[in-house]
Amino acid sequence: EVQLLESGGGLVQPGGSLRLSCAASGVAFSTYAMSWVRQAPGKGLEWISAISVSGGRTYYADSVKGRFTISRDNSKNALYLQMNSLRAEDTAIYYCAKDVYDNAGFFDYWGQGTLVTVSS
């Protein structure tokens, strides 16, 4: 069974940093592109970043470009999101999501999410 488990969320002050992790199991992690998708409280889904199978290609939404960095460690079946210069509007549940196939752009498995709250 495919499982994605996010961790690392919490309360952080504006301007602060946080690193999210996503641990994958039950899947050949190194053969799928991965993404981060977030959902602000009571709002819709927002794709924010994707990474290719090898990690050599990364993509970002304009809302996080230059502040967030996606990475992966295929030896550890892990996906990461380094978030810097956090703003109040970054407050959301952050989901990691697995592409249906490499660079498919749509997602068949999602984690349960980790909540990031940016507030002073």
Assess 59 for contact with other proteins (CB under 8 A): yes
Place of tokens 């980790």: 114
Structure tokens at 12: 């952080």
Assess 119 for contact with other proteins (CB under 8 A): no
Stretch that binds other proteins, among 12-20, 39-47, 71-79, 83-91 (CB under 8 A): 39-47
Chain mean position to CA 38: 8
- For the CB of residue 108, give the shortest distance to other proteins in the complex, in Å: 5
Stretch that binds other proteins, among 16-24, 41-49, 69-77, 81-89 (CB under 8 A): 41-49
109 vs 120: CA distance, rounded Å: 33
Assess 50 for contact with other proteins (CB under 8 A): yes
Place of tokens 């290609």: 57
